[in-house]
Structure 1
Amino acid sequence: MAASDGTVIIGGGLAAAHVVQTLREHGYPNGITLIGDEPTAPYERPPLSKDYLQGKQAADASIVHDAGWYAEHDVSLVLGEQAASIDRQHHVVRLDSGSEHPYGNLVLATGADSRRLEVPGADLPGVHLLRRVGDAESLKDSFSAGGRLAVVGAGWIGLEVAASARQAGMEVTVVAPGSTPLGSVLGQEIGAHFAALHRANGVELRLGTQVSGIIERDGRAAGLETSAGEVPADVVLIAIGAVPATGLAEAAGLDVANGVLVDSALRTSDPDILAVGDVANAQNTRLGRLRVEHWDNAIRQGTLAAQTILGHDDRYDWLPYFFTDQFDLGMEYVGHAGPDAQTVIRGKLESGEFIAFWLEDGTVAAAMNVNIWDVNDTLRALVGRSIEPARLADAEIPLAAL
């Protein structure tokens, strides 16, 4: 067997782990090399903003498979090394260290990087990002000292860390330019519910507010300069979204636009190279082109990429799914809706237990269960159907009867 008959995966996250796992589970006979630029084996990232920060889970609990598993399954792990370039002509990945790894199929699972805040002081000690386990370790260490946390951004990461910090006893202020947390994802009504949840738990929200700089004191971050005045803080988290890590793909001449462009089988413009997870802007056979930064998608796309390499005819056809836990709110969301979709509520928001539907042109585009469990599969089956809003809202009608 020639080395170039094998598969090389670049990336150390959940999608990469599931490419490897699926290939071996289905009897893939060729060599597999996984290259990650972190020193740990591929791991799950959702606990970094929740259970790990809250001290409920150790860092190594999120590792998908330990090094022994990879050895047992004849997988070469190359950790703590950066891929420098892809030579598509010779089917070789070159690392910064100078080593070369031939491939028959290459999978890009390079993920995304935290978006930087371009203001004075953004690089000061005490300013944190949260994308990797090292980021979470540093942020958790800062929580142990207590004090005040300022979060820039009111998306999923910002709100999850705000909740974790409050539960650790910190004072927390969230600053964001929008009028509603998560408004671009969940719309105004449900976004307002998340705002009320955080305020009820002692988080100060300064919405409609721009950050112009990081306050410096004694060589460290001491808060935010904003359009609504200063926000004093001992720790600052920048959580303003993520940027797909497309540098390798661009340098290799692959088609890139808000991620690496792939078809419904996850193949790039080079049929011997696939892309999965946060970095993949993929053609969904039901919804069109999507780039999804969530746990479920990483697992499913990792599996699909392996199926493509194995010669199967599977396609990217599932609905996006994600979840969050903040304070006493746990929820699951399935589907894909724009912020201007019509929102229909089954139950009462103030009870803390309800189901939300989003309709576009009379069709259910997405649904979310909040503190109501074992219904998400039923909600998934409703997405794509035309259902009268009054029936969706009527809790006397069983979900299964809709």
Structure 2
Amino acid sequence: MAPPAGYVNVRRDVTDQFYRYRMPILLTKIEGKGNGIKTVIPNMADVSRALNRPSSYPTKFFGCELGAQATFNDDTERYIVNGAHEANRLRDLLDSFIDKFVLCASCKNPETELIITKDEFIIRDCKACGQRSNVDMRHKLTTFIVKNPPKSKKAGKGRKAVAGADSIAGQPGGGKVEGEDDESDDELTKKIEAGAAQVMSEEQAQALIAQREKEDDWSIDTSKEAVAARVQSLDSKLQNSLVLEDDDEEGGGPYETFGEWVKEQREGEGVTDADIYKKAEEMGIAKKHKSLVVLVQAIFTEKIVEEIAGHVPLFGKMTTSEKHQKSLLGGIERFVGEIHPDLIPSIPKILMAFYQADILEEEVLTQWGTHVSKKYVAKDVSKKVRKASEPFIKWLAEADSDEESDDE
């Protein structure tokens, strides 16, 4: 039996006419002109239902891959990617999304649900073969998924997020998502806490075990004498910038020590983002917004524009509120304003990278870009940084204005 008109196989590389996993052909419509031109995807909701994923995920994926702003409204089922993009290009990107976030890594069937562990890793749980495969957390979309999980269901100690209840098109018995019993969820949590080896390949599991064996070496001497010795060896400019304001009620000590540790480990090329977060947790500052001021200055080099993408999961995990975002911006302001003033012209690219990764939000960026502050740097330096950010802030305002005009 031939597939219905207007439908294609979920895996477009499969030519079997009896392949039961179907989805509507992705449709596009170009609207607007000039700087306000945009691509509307009128049937994104239907396509997403066939993939058993929230519609915002593939829409956001398109934005990440195309370097364009993506907007979505589930109530009106309106999904937009700024710019003019051909339908075939978006269909190819949809294939990539399906491969990365839908298909089982083992059997390549789309009968998967997304699980977000309490450690904020994303796993594809296959109902066809039982395999659990972890998603590549280096992709920008993973930050968005963690912050906007699918329809969730808590069980045991871990947090489990499952995709929407709509069944995969053509899948018998669909519509209801089967959950695991309490015992199996508890067991899953224990395994995840032990290293999540059951969801990794053998090579990844071995690498994780090797990393865990180094944990005993993570701690450093934090006595006053040891800290003083390390402070003396720091570059004077960086040392001054790592110190928080004098009226900090929590004291600059732990943050300063954290920044020194990150810088030392970075220069030795022996630290991962997991190591850094582990250290922040050990010091009790992983959830503190002021840790971000120090982290920006300690983890990046003059190649910050290229380096941001590699640290998106870490900053996504540590930036959890508006206050965190403001501290992150404060760290960026110090980094380019005092440590690397030659990078001030690159501030739009830096802000764009964090914005597209869903770490910095439009409202926070707009407020920051239009209000000079001397909280983190001298007032004249703050003016220079914000002056350099004007092209990006203007772009945000124009994109928002175009969207409002379109709604009207």
Q: Which structure has the larger Rg?
A: 2
- TM-score, normalising length from structure 2? 0.26
- TM-score, normalising length from structure 1? 0.27
In terms of fraction of residues, the more strand-rich structure is 1
In terms of fraction of residues, the more helix-rich structure is 2
